[in-house]
Amino acid sequence: MVGGGPAGLFFALLAKRAVPTATVQVREQNPPGVTYGWGVAFSESAAEALRPAAPDVVDALTAGMSHEEMVLSLDGTDVPVHVGRSFLNARWTLLAALERVAREAGVTVEHDAQAAVSEAELADSDLVVGADGVNSRTRERFAEQFAPTEELGTNWLAWYGTPKAYPPSIILQNSDHGLLMSHASQFSPEMSNFTVEVGQETFDHLGFGEMTEEESRALCEQLFAGSLDGAPLRSNHSPWFQTKFLSCAHWTHRNLVLIGDALHTVHPSIGSGTRFAMRDAVYLTKALAGSGWDVEVGLKEFERTRKPVADAFQAAAKRSIDWYEGLPGRTITHPTKFALEYLMRTGRVSYRDFRRQNRDVVLGYERDLR
């Protein structure tokens, strides 16, 4: 197993529990306890989909912070909407919990380890799983076999934290610099995510490309001062980045398979890539177990069963990315219309669904249109 993130650790745990006599090793390039980013989310439906595979793990991940509403905010006007329950955890807490349970099951986890996979290792192993993230060296090493395609988004994002408590929120501010956006959500009693997103023109106008990470953080703190109410933004390796929309034409090479962000990505706005990656681990374990742990048969079954589901989720993610990237070129003036657009942007929520769950919000909007 290459990569000690959620996908790699979860598959290692599931595989070891399924075949207790197997030797399962995880190789992670980061030191123990080191990770980047802040909080990660699971919707209630995502948690229930994972629960049959490891009820104890899902119970632990759903025991903390949870939300049932989100707030869509436009220039200081808030529209609270019901979106269903979601559970949030600090990324480092999630990884620590997964690693602890994996070790208890008998998985060996090695940190500060070489991430590259060689042909010799493939020959010496029954199965090798590349779960080493969006910048996967495993995928890069065997790019000819996996045939990946990558598309960079046009918007720029920086993932900060803040001690201000936010319900899941999308914050839009029209400014002289262009449209400013933030995705915020409380994931622990002390901290919230606060991801800033801007279009290319705003990014250039504000000079973020020439700033240090600390200078960018300080300016974002200033730009969103009205929402932050004096709370600071904090960095945890928080450089600007553009989303990478990644997919692979082939998922396997001999006894090597990719899962998680190494194989395919989604987008922060459609839900956590963490749950998407962990679902890969569930599908892979089920396919291998169903084949009697015949690796060749199991890997083919994994791709056959998981790919249609993953492709549909990626298609929804692409619609979400396109919607976000179209925002900087528009003037957004109506908070409720913005809330409607946001929740219907992927095509997975209809106007009827939204109206049923948020009747008062929609009735007020419909009255405004008369």
DSSP string for residues in 161-192: EESS---SEEEEEEETTEEEEEEEEE-SSS-E
Cβ-count burial 282-301 (b if 16+ within 10 Å, e if not): bbbbbbbeebeeebeebbeb
Confidence category of residue 369, pLDDT binned at 50, 70, 90 = low
- The share of the chain scoring above pLDDT 90, in percent, equals 71
pLDDT greater than 70 at residue 131: yes
Mean pLDDT of the region 173-194:
95
Most confidently modeled range among 32-46, 67-81, 298-312 = 298-312
- Please report the domains of the chain, with CATH numbers, ordered by start residue: 6-65+87-151+244-326 (3.50.50.60), 156-228 (3.30.9.20), 337-369 (no CATH)
Contact by Cβ (8 Å): 260, 5? yes
pLDDT at 155: 94
Confidence category of residue 321, pLDDT binned at 50, 70, 90 = confident
pLDDT at 337: 84
Mean pLDDT of the region 302-312:
96
Beta strand spans in the chain (E): 25-27, 39-43, 65-74, 77-90, 108-110, 128-130, 148-152, 156-162, 169-175, 178-186, 192-198, 244-248, 252-253, 256-258
pLDDT greater than 80 at residue 355: no
Q: How far is residue 320's CA from residue 336's CA, in Å, rounded to a whole number?
A: 18
Confidence category of residue 352, pLDDT binned at 50, 70, 90 = confident
Contact by Cβ (8 Å): 320, 267? yes
Mean pLDDT of the region 227-252:
95
Tokens of 132: 């080493």
Mean pLDDT of the region 338-355:
79
Most confidently modeled range among 38-42, 264-268, 296-300 = 296-300
Confidence category of residue 272, pLDDT binned at 50, 70, 90 = low
Lowest mean pLDDT among 114-118, 138-142, 148-152, 224-228: 114-118
pLDDT greater than 80 at residue 170: yes
Mean pLDDT of the region 249-269:
92
Tokens of 289: 């177990």
pLDDT at 356: 77
Confidence category of residue 110, pLDDT binned at 50, 70, 90 = very high
Mean pLDDT of the region 196-221:
97
Give this prediction's pTM. 0.91
Lowest mean pLDDT among 29-38, 129-138, 148-157, 191-200: 29-38
Mean pLDDT of the region 28-39:
89
pLDDT greater than 90 at residue 181: yes
pLDDT at 263: 97
pLDDT at 265: 92
Angle, to 10 degrees, between the axis of helix 6-18 and the axis of helix 273-290? 30
pLDDT at 347: 74
Confidence category of residue 278, pLDDT binned at 50, 70, 90 = very high
Q: How far is residue 259's CA from residue 59's CA, in Å, rounded to a whole number?
A: 23
CA dihedral 218, 219, 220, 224 (to 10 degrees): 110
Q: Which of 321, 306, 305 is nearest to 266 (CA)?
A: 321
pLDDT greater than 60 at residue 284: yes
Mean pLDDT of the region 152-159:
94
Confidence category of residue 163, pLDDT binned at 50, 70, 90 = very high
Mean pLDDT of the region 217-236:
97
pLDDT at 370: 55
Q: How far is CA 240 from the centre of its chain?
A: 16
pLDDT at 368: 64
Confidence category of residue 342, pLDDT binned at 50, 70, 90 = confident
Mean pLDDT of the region 56-80:
92
